């Protein structure tokens, strides 16, 4: 199974082919459309990640030492970025998730989406993934 | 010096040259700034004034014996006079410097509320208020056992005045409504509101944050009791604003904050307070930005009001017509009387996505609930994208916006 960094490197390589921002966003939007829907039972208030603009729902569970999460957003670009984060972090060993350095976001030119100034819930989502992984790692 | 006589021909291309930020690029595109409703850009005249103040004129004001302090005091008090003349207040001491509109409303809610609100009393606001004109009233009403009542609106985003009239009763202590809605652009019939409220002996506060940059405000002609606005929305610096209040009411209100400048005599037994406006201006004020605000008003006042208004109406009409030509675009806020603010939704796409794509094209709009969540609830939506125009915008900006929205539509829909 590919490691967090291997997947990040794959994504960076994939995004390398886009020289137009439009193509990049088209791809992200497409990823957002294809992201499997979060199960309705997990799309509740309690799973809503605090954030000002687009709403983000996150559900995480532990399966044999690996954290598995599903998420959703009502904004499609946010959802596309969530799809990338899921690809990188879901099904990874909990301890590695809590300490993961997410360098791919910067490298594919989406840093502004994960800046705290953006207030779109993504920053809080990553924080929540990591803190959940942390909690689960301690319990594990 | 009478610096408030219109003296300059209104020429938008010349005006644009005064605003250095309009010459920059964002994401590889020339900046198209359509977020003046959130904050307007600053002309060189204001930037230079702030620069000169900090380089050569700064000292703490009031009671200073030395030259610099006296000069700064004079400039600051002259700024107050500039504002007085700008809004045609009767007296200079009725013009209070604040941090901004929010601060001004909080001052009234806290001080007026403390003095005059009793259990069972009512404060009337409206459905289209900014959170700044909701929450301060909720806080003071909760403390006092008073109630906030809300004027309903129709689907166009217009206040239902008959309903307002029927809400006034012997418990009403104050009416606090927005002059121009930041989300919808609706220009409220404030003259009618004031007349109706006064016929019940109820004073009126207007939130003028969005009105001042677009229209001439004459507080005496309006006969308004309180009028709050922000410097940064009228080409001035951030962190400074104005609260106008009739001195007859301000004199009856207790101080808002205690500290320097607002006192007459302090002893541990009893402190007596300074006269207006100082009673409400505790601590060293925002001297530089007060002076900067005056320079912004001088700048703005160079132009004939009617020419600015005609230009902005043209932008609003042109933008409305162009935006309605886009498939699936819906304008939120269709009042008959509107300022140059357009909230819209593009089919079922999220405003955040639309705003993100426009940003990639160098186009700055605001997305979200615009600090009017109850209004969003009224329309049953999460938020909108909002384009707001100032006098430095032109039709070319709107053409870029329309092209940008079309691009967003091709990606999102």
ipTM: 0.90
The strand order across the sheet containing A92-93 reads A48-49, A56-63, A66-73, A92-93
Tell me which of A52, A99, A103, A127 is the catalytic residue: A52
B362-389 confidence digits (pLDDT tens): 999 999 999 999 999 999 999 999 999 9
Question: Cβ–Cβ of A25/B360 closer than 8 Å?
Answer: yes
pLDDT of residue B406: 98
* pLDDT band, very low/low/confident/very high, at A128 (cuts 50, 70, 90): confident
Query: B72-77 — which CB contacts under 8 Å span 24+ positions?
Result: B72/B287, B75/B287, B75/B291, B76/B285, B76/B287, B76/B290, B76/B291
Q: What b-and-e string marks burial along A107-117, b requiring 16 or more CB atoms within 10 Å of the CB? A: bbebeebbeee
B328-337 confidence digits (pLDDT tens): 999 999 999 9
- Among the partner-chain residues A21, A26, A77, the one whose CB lies closest to the CB of B353 is A77
Kindly state the DSSP code that residue B239 receives in the 8-state scheme. Answer: T
* Pairing between β-strand B147-151 and β-strand B122-126 as defined by DSSP bridges: parallel
Say whether A52 is catalytic. yes
Residue of higher predicted confidence among A52 and B71: B71
Residue A69 structure tokens: 């999460």
Residue of higher predicted confidence among B12 and A51: B12
What residues in B contact A55, CB-CB < 8 Å? 382
* pLDDT band, very low/low/confident/very high, at B117 (cuts 50, 70, 90): very high
Q: Does residue B221 carry a pLDDT above 90?
A: yes
Chain B contact for A21, CB < 8 A? yes
Residue of higher predicted confidence among B356 and A120: B356
For residues B319 and B387, is the Cβ–Cβ distance under 8 A?
Answer: yes
| Number of other residues whose CB lies within 10 A of the CB of residue A131 | 12
Among candidate residues B276, B28, B367, the one with its CA nearest the CA of residue A118: B367
Q: Out of A92-96, B123-127, B247-251, which region has the weakest mean confidence (pLDDT)?
A: A92-96
Question: Cβ–Cβ of B352/A22 closer than 8 Å?
Answer: no
**B346 to each of B279, B321, B328, how far by Cα in Å?**
49, 15, 6
Q: Out of A79-88, B190-199, B394-403, which region has the weakest mean confidence (pLDDT)?
A: A79-88
Residue B219 structure tokens: 């507080």
**Model pTM score:** 0.95
* pLDDT band, very low/low/confident/very high, at B148 (cuts 50, 70, 90): very high
Q: Out of A124-128, B44-48, B158-162, which region has the weakest mean confidence (pLDDT)?
A: A124-128
pLDDT of residue B2: 44
Question: For residue A1, how many C-alpha atoms fall within 13 Å in the half-sphere facing its CB?
Answer: 9
What residues in A contact B408, CB-CB < 8 Å? none
Residue B180 structure tokens: 């121009």
pLDDT of residue B155: 98
pLDDT of residue A85: 92
Does the bond joining B227 to the residue before it have cis omega, within 30 degrees of 0? no
Alpha-carbon Rg of chain B, whole angstroms?
A: 22
Question: Cβ–Cβ of B349/A77 closer than 8 Å?
Answer: no
Q: Out of A88-97, B214-223, B390-399, which region has the weakest mean confidence (pLDDT)?
A: A88-97
Question: Cβ–Cβ of B367/A53 closer than 8 Å?
Answer: yes
| Number of other residues whose CB lies within 10 A of the CB of residue B197 | 22
Q: Is B131 helix (H, G, I), strand (E, B) or coil?
A: helix
Measured between alpha carbons, how far is B296 from B282 in angstroms, rounded to an integer?
Answer: 24
């Amino acid at each position: 199974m590919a490691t967090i960094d291997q997947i990040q490197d794959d994504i960076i390589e994939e995004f390398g082919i886009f020289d137009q921002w439009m193509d990049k966003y088209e791809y992200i939007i497409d990823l957002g459309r294809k992201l499997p829907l979060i199960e309705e039972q997990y799309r509740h208030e309690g799973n809503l990640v605090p954030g000002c603009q687009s709403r983000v729902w996150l559900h995480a569970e532990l399966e044999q030492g690996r954290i598995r999460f599903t998420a959703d957003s009502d904004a499609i670009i946010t959802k596309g970025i969530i799809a990338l984060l899921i690809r990188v972090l879901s099904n990874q060993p909990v301890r590695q998730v809590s300490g993961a350095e997410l360098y791919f976001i910067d490298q594919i030119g989406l840093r502004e989406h994960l800046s705290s100034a953006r207030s779109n819930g993504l920053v809080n989502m990553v924080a929540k993934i990591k803190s959940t992984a942390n909690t689960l790692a301690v319990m594990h | 010096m009478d610096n408030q006589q219109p003296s300059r021909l209104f020429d938008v291309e010349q005006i644009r040259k005064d605003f250095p930020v309009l010459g920059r690029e964002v994401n590889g595109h020339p900046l198209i700034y359509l977020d003046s409703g959130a904050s307007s850009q600053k002309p060189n005249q204001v930037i230079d004034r702030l620069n000169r103040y900090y380089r050569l004129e700064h000292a703490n004001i009031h009671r200073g014996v030395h030259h610099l302090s006296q000069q700064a005091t004079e400039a600051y008090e002259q700024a107050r006079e500039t504002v007085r003349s700008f809004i045609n207040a009767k007296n200079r001491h009725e013009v209070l410097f604040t941090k901004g509109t929010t601060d001004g409303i909080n001052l009234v809610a806290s001080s007026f509320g403390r003095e005059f609100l009793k259990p069972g009393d009512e404060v009337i606001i409206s459905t289209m208020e900014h959170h700044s004109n909701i929450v301060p009233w909720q806080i003071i009403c909760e403390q006092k056992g008073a109630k906030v009542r809300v004027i309903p609106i129709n689907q166009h985003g217009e206040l239902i005045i008959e309903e307002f009239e029927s809400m006034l009763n012997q418990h009403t202590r104050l009416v606090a409504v927005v002059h121009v809605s930041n989300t919808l652009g609706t220009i409220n019939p404030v003259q009618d509101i004031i007349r109706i409220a006064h016929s019940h002996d109820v004073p009126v506060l207007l939130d003028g944050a969005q009105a001042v940059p677009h229209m001439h405000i004459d507080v005496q002609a309006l006969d308004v009791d309180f009028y709050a606005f922000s410097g940064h929305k009228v080409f001035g610096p951030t962190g400074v604003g104005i609260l106008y209040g009739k001195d007859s009411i301000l004199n009856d209100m207790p101080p808002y904050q205690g500290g320097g400048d607002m006192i007459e005599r302090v002893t541990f037994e009893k402190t007596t307070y300074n006269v207006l406006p100082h009673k409400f201006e505790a601590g060293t004020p925002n001297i530089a930005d007060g002076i900067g605000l005056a320079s912004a008003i001088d700048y703005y006042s160079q132009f004939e009001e009617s020419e600015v208004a005609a230009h902005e109406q043209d932008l609003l009409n042109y933008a409305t017509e162009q935006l309605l030509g886009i498939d699936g675009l819906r304008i939120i806020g269709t009042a008959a009387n509107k300022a140059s603010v357009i909230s819209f939704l593009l089919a079922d796409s999220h405003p955040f996505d639309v705003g993100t794509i426009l940003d990639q094209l160098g186009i700055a709009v605001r997305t979200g609930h615009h600090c009017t969540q109850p209004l969003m609830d009224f329309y049953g939506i999460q938020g909108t994208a909002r384009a707001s125009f100032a006098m430095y915008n032109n039709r070319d900006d709107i053409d870029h916006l329309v092209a940008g929205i079309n691009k967003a539509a091709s990606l999102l829909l």
